[in-house]
Chain A
Amino acid sequence: AQSVTQLGSHVSVSEGALVLLRCNYSSSVPPYLFWYVQYPNQGLQLLLKYTSAATLVKGINGFEAEFKKSETSFHLTKPSAHMSDAAEYFCAVIGAGGTSYGKLTFGQGTILTVHP
């Protein structure tokens, strides 16, 4: 079975500081990994996705993530936080085989707070 674990339910940074949101995955097959963002009372918006084409993935709004197979990690980073980045972020893995094919499995989420 596949799963993702997000380390840290809350992360707080100052505006302009580095953002680092951690995600580790468990998958018996090469995974397809995603980061989504959710603003209050809204649905999910895709930030970026890893589909094995490149280990460093660039997404929208200046975010990027690096796939590290040796560490089973897919951490999300942004060099300089902006107030508008305050939201909840979800790491997700999608099934590539068996009964989980095409279904997203989400982590518990990390709430990012940005202080002025």
Chain B
Amino acid sequence: DAGVTQSPTHLIKTRGQHVTLRCSPISGHKSVSWYQQVLGQGPQFIFQYYEKEERGRGNFPDRFSARQFPNYSSELNVNALLLGDSALYLCASSLVPTPNTEAFFGQGTRLTVV
């Protein structure tokens, strides 16, 4: 079975541009979460979606937005990119968003803002 897949794997953007990152969860998983991992730090929670509804949002500016589609895939959008947005963006999927349910992570998208 395919794991969590993210696309693209790498991309380079210029300050001020917009970017869309994509995530396909494991088949049957209905919850998707996004995390930002800046170099040298642990991942930071950005968003959680379940059944196409936002279930939580981390401490990120409104430039960050996301959505989940009927097939449970998800997009993370970032507007007006800043140099500080350079990071590894991780997507995690789980059957349901409960504490004792394992989250499976994708390989991530490495975003570089220049």
Contacts and interface: CB of A to CB of B under 8 A. Distances in A.
A43 B103 contact: no
Interface in B94-113: 97-108, 110
Given A102-B31, A103-B56, A104-B92, 7 more contacts: A43-B4, A44-B105, A90-B43, A102-B48, A102-B56, A104-B45, A104-B103
Contacts, number: 65
A74 to B, nearest CB: 15
Contacts of B55: 102
Interface string B1-19: 0001000000000000000
Contact of A103 (B41, B45, B90): B45
Q: What size tier do the contact residues of chain B reach? A: 20 to 34
Contacts of A77: none
Nearest to B94: A102
Given A43-B106, A51-B100, A104 B56 contact: no
Contacts of A106: 35, 42-44
Interface in A57-116: 90, 92, 94-96, 99-109
Interface string A14-52: 000000000000000000100010000111111001010
- Most B CB within 10 A of own CB, among A41, A92, A104: A104
A44 B100 contact: no
Interface of B: 4, 31, 33, 35, 40-45, 48, 55-56, 58, 90, 92, 97-108, 110
Contacts of A100: 56
Contact of B99 (A90, A101, A107): A101
26 contacts: A32-B99, A32-B100, A41-B107, A42-B107, A43-B106, A44-B90, A46-B102, A46-B104, A90-B42, A99-B56, A100-B56, A101-B56, A102-B48, A102-B55, A102-B101, A103-B45, A103-B56, A103-B58, A104-B43, A104-B45, A104-B92, A105-B45, A106-B42, A108-B41, A109-B41, A109-B42
A105 B58 CA distance: 10
B11 to A, nearest CB: 14
Nearest to B91: A43
